[in-house]
């Protein structure tokens, strides 16, 4: 894709600047959380061991006790909490989607994070994601190999109307 094509798709996303700001806040929170997690793992804190029957609450209690006792962990925990607070103010986006292997999902057309509250299309063959706002596609339609997250009944099935056909037949309000 050329830079001009990408710029055209980004221009369709009306909240592009807010998305960029939200991503910076999420990234800061994520980096701080990973630092705390790695420090805990390196100390063997709250590790899941085979055959062990501990609840999530038990592991959380172990982490809290370790943080209270270790100044380095206490500092990492405080930094993670401080970085998390601004991200929590971005409630309109929700957490970024992750693939089955834990990779963060981005829109292939714009590069923006795809959040759990977004409307998006997923290519069932490649598992690539596209923000609907980047395309200007009406919400709720299947388009080619892309499956919508909330397709209406007229768009479900092998003979689903394309967006262009649906608009031409006046079945969609755009």
Residue 2 pLDDT grade (very low, low, confident, very high; cuts 50, 70, 90) = confident
Looking at residue 143, what is its pLDDT? 53
The verdict on 130 and 148 lying in the same domain is yes
Instruction: Read off the pLDDT band of 84 (50, 70, 90).
Output: very high
**pLDDT value, residue 121:** 83
pLDDT tens-digit series, residues 100-143? 888 899 999 999 999 988 888 887 777 788 888 888 766 555 55
**The pairing of beta strand 129-131 with beta strand 146-148:** unpaired
- Alpha-carbon Rg for the chain, nearest whole angstrom, is 21
- Given 114, 130, 159, the domain boundary residue is 114
> How many structural domains comprise the chain?
2
Highest mean pLDDT of the ranges 80-84, 161-165, 169-173 = 80-84
Same domain, 63 and 136: no
Which of 82, 114, 146 is the C-terminal boundary of a domain?
A: 114
The answer on 85 and 5 residing in a single domain is: yes
Residue scoring higher pLDDT (118 or 52): 118
User: Max alpha carbon distance in the chain (Å)?
Assistant: 68
If asked whether residues 44 and 84 sit together in one domain, one would say yes
CA distance 37 to 54: 18
Q: Which domain holds residue 27?
A: 1-114
Tell me the pLDDT band of 166, cut-offs 50, 70 and 90: very low
| Residues 38, 96 within the same domain | yes
46 and 122, same domain (yes or no): no
> Are 26 and 100 contained in the same domain?
yes
pLDDT at 19: 94
């Amino acid at each position: 894709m050329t830079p001009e094509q990408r710029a055209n798709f980004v221009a369709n996303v009306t909240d592009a600047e807010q998305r960029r700001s939200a991503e910076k806040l999420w990234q800061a929170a994520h980096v701080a959380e990973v630092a705390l997690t790695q420090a805990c793992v390196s100390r063997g804190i709250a590790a899941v061991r085979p055959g062990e029957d501990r609840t999530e609450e038990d592991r959380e209690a172990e982490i809290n006790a370790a943080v209270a006792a270790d100044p380095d962990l206490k500092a990492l925990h405080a930094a993670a909490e401080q970085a998390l607070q601004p991200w929590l103010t971005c409630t309109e986006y929700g957490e970024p989607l992750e693939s089955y292997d834990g990779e963060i999902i981005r829109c292939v057309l714009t590069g923006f994070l795809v959040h759990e509250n977004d409307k998006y299309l997923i290519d069932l063959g490649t598992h690539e994601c596209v923000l609907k706002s980047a395309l200007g596609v009406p919400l709720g339609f299947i388009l080619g190999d892309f499956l919508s997250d909330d397709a209406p009944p007229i768009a479900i099935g092998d003979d689903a109307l394309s967006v262009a056909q649906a608009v031409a037949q006046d079945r969609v309000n755009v």
